[in-house]
Chain A
Amino acid sequence: MSQRVALRNVTKRFGSVVALKTISLDIEEGEFITLLGPSGCGKTTTLRLIAGFNDPDQGQILLGDQDITNLPPQKREIGMVFQDYALFPHLTIKENIAFPLRERRTPKEKINDRVVELLELVRLPGVEERYPSELSGGQAQRISVARAVAYPPRVLLMDEPLGALDLKLREAMQLELRRIQQELQITTVFVTHDQTEAMNMSDRIAVMRNGEIEQVGTARDIYNFPQSSFVADFVGRINLLDAELLGESEGIAELRILNDVNIRAKIATEVQSKSLCVGIRPEKLAIGRSGHKDRYDNQIPGKVISSTFSGNLLDIFVDVGADKPFLVEQRPDQVPLEINTPVDVCWNAQDALVLSAE
């Protein structure tokens, strides 16, 4: 039943506000794709267009080979998991899960078997006769998933379904949702603003911003080869510095940062923008006592501002003369540096990315 989804030049305006600027996206059959972005980036609008709650102003939405742009939601055969679950409060769990089946006139005996099967799938057997108000957040979420896949949907949509759960439960549910998705081999579009969640669960991620898709790729692609400083900054942590291009050879650029420091960085993706910046992930940075010459390609001097211990990491903030302090991730077992210690921050050209600036 699972099918591919395609958005073709889809535009959506709300009054004078442009929510989506001509986006196109192909989602493969059985793929788990996440729309990732800050609030207001258009990710939820995209989901609602696929669901049919809103109509695009221009463009087409395809499901399998069918153009569903003008099909009402109830005829699209889509399953959806909502942010606050949206379980029907006046119906029992069984009636909630059976809802999509009853609306499609499935025979009674079949419904009963299917409900039992679905409760096993979401690992919550025996709650048939309870009401939604009697469930915990995590349980309600599982029931919401069971309802969404009850009548096998052509595509499953999820709108920030884990937002209301606490961290531990959220991590457990990420694995659960992924397991269910894999078990059913169901095309899934997931919306979140949480990059960790996106990276944990997705086959591919589409990073969105201001109604446009900035980059689509696997978690690895997006983390290692971001195509813009926005993507680099939104997915994971990164130190960004404005840079001026001096020259390039064999994929390595010569750049000038902070007015007088020359560095070298890898050109990983095509950069068109005139204004550039260079980005270095905090785990790629090393820190050394000032004046200590090292085997790294680049080094800039600075002063330690603060360090925070978070269990598995030691975050050190170093003032290198840029607008924002540099963040350096270190192993927590290292001897913490005193505040105001003069240090050198070092990295290899391979680990620095040349990016188009904002």
Chain B
Amino acid sequence: MKFVTYRLQKLIGRFFFGLYCSISYIFLLSPIVVVIGTSLNGPTENVEASFKFPPESLSLYWYTQIPEGQIDALLLSFVLAIVASLCACLLGVPAALGLVRSNVPGKALISAIFRAPLQIPAIVTGIAFLQLFYWIGDLTGFYWQGSLIGLALGHIFIATPYVVGTVTAILQRFDTRLEEAAVIHGASPRRAFFRVTLPVIMPGVYAGALYAFMVSFSDVPVAIFLSAPGFVTYPVEIFFALENDFEPSLMASATLVIIICLLLLLLVQKVIGLDALLKVGGSRGVG
């Protein structure tokens, strides 16, 4: 009898565990499902009726109605996110190295400065950059708002802390004896960095770059100040579209972005391995 009750307990336990997991999945996936579902509505007499979920008729009609401005904005957002995440790595990796390895006085302060962009509300960052660019423009005659440089600067600012964070985490677990082993066996310190340290901390760099990419790609509050007519990032474009002409083509374009992002993640998984990204610091996870 005891045996049976034990089996029963295990079954009940498994049931509740399964239920819990299902609820979590539903919670996380339902917005995406609703967006994709709504985008598949066919054309209707009045636009409101096209926002039905589940869709009343299946059609790709609204995909043909995506305004060209949104496609341009999407391209700009991709370019911007790539530039911002690359630059965030170029800034963040050396910063993390310095913060972990060196014993400069005021290390806590420096580390706080590198974290600061996370603590400033993005909308304040946006205003601050706009103000800065006006000031620079008044001085030099070159106004950076509404340019790729201006947007990139703003996004590098908000994205760099993520790279610093992930790379710091992996560096703190890095065994410095690996560098000593490289140096004693003939590598100059520079070679040791590029042949040993950098490859071993690469999962942290990738993870930071991915965060940086997503931060830049989904940012509205900074970009809204630094965009210019005809030069608008995708989230800002969507934001305006929601305000001005809200129609189901928005859902279609959002679905496209979801699919593109999934494909990108698959590519990352194929090339780097998502495990390496998720467990930053697994120095053995590479290869």
Interface positions of A (Cβ within 8 A of B): 51-53, 72-74, 76-80, 82-84, 86-92, 99-100, 103-104, 131-133, 147-148, 150-151, 157
Contact = CB atoms under 8 A, between A and B. Distances in A.
Contacts of B172: none
Contact of B186 (A51, A83, A92, A151): A151
A148 B185 CA distance: 7
Given A89-B283, A99-B182, A104-B186, A84 B196 contact: no
Contacts of B187: 74, 99, 103
B286 interface: yes
Given A74-B188, A103-B186, A86 B181 contact: yes
Majority SS of interface residues in chain A? Answer: loop
Nearest to B200: A90
A86 B180 contact: yes
Given A74-B189, A86-B180, A133-B284, 11 more contacts: A53-B183, A73-B180, A73-B183, A82-B180, A86-B175, A88-B182, A103-B186, A103-B187, A103-B191, A150-B185, A151-B186
Interface string B153-190: 00000000000000000000001011011111111110
B199 interface: yes
A52 to B, nearest CB: 8
A53 B175 contact: no
B287 A53 contact: no
CB-based closest 9 A-B pairs: A103-B186, A100-B185, A86-B181, A86-B177, A90-B199, A133-B284, A80-B184, A90-B286, A103-B187
Contacts of A90: 196, 199-200, 202, 286-287
B181 A82 contact: yes
Contacts, number: 80
Interface in B99-128: none
Contacts of B180: 51, 53, 73, 80, 82, 86
A132 B189 CA distance: 23
A51 B202 CA distance: 28
A86 B197 CA distance: 12
Nearest to B188: A74
B185 A79 contact: yes
A84 B177 contact: yes
A72 B287 CA distance: 31
A131 B287 CA distance: 8
A89 B286 contact: yes
Nearest to B283: A89
A132 B186 CA distance: 20
Contacts of A86: 175, 177-178, 180-181
Contacts of A133: 284
Nearest to B178: A86
23 contacts: A51-B184, A52-B184, A53-B180, A53-B183, A53-B184, A72-B183, A73-B184, A74-B183, A74-B184, A74-B185, A76-B184, A79-B185, A80-B180, A80-B185, A82-B177, A82-B180, A84-B177, A86-B177, A87-B181, A90-B287, A132-B284, A133-B284, A148-B185
B271 to A, nearest CB: 15
A151 B287 contact: no
Contacts of A76: 184
B55 to A, nearest CB: 49
Nearest to A99: B185
A83 B199 CA distance: 22
A91 B177 CA distance: 15
A100 B185 CA distance: 5
Contacts of A151: 185-186
Interface string B271-287: 00000000000011011
B117 to A, nearest CB: 31
Contact of A74 (B175, B186, B199, B284): B186
Contacts of B287: 89-92, 131
B177 to A, nearest CB: 4
Contacts of A92: 287
Interface centre among B183, B191, B195 (most CB of A within 10 A): B183
B184 A78 contact: yes
Contacts of B191: 103
B197 to A, nearest CB: 10
Nearest to A150: B185
A87 B189 CA distance: 17
A173 B250 CA distance: 68
Interface centre among A53, A87, A89, A91 (most CB of B within 10 A): A89
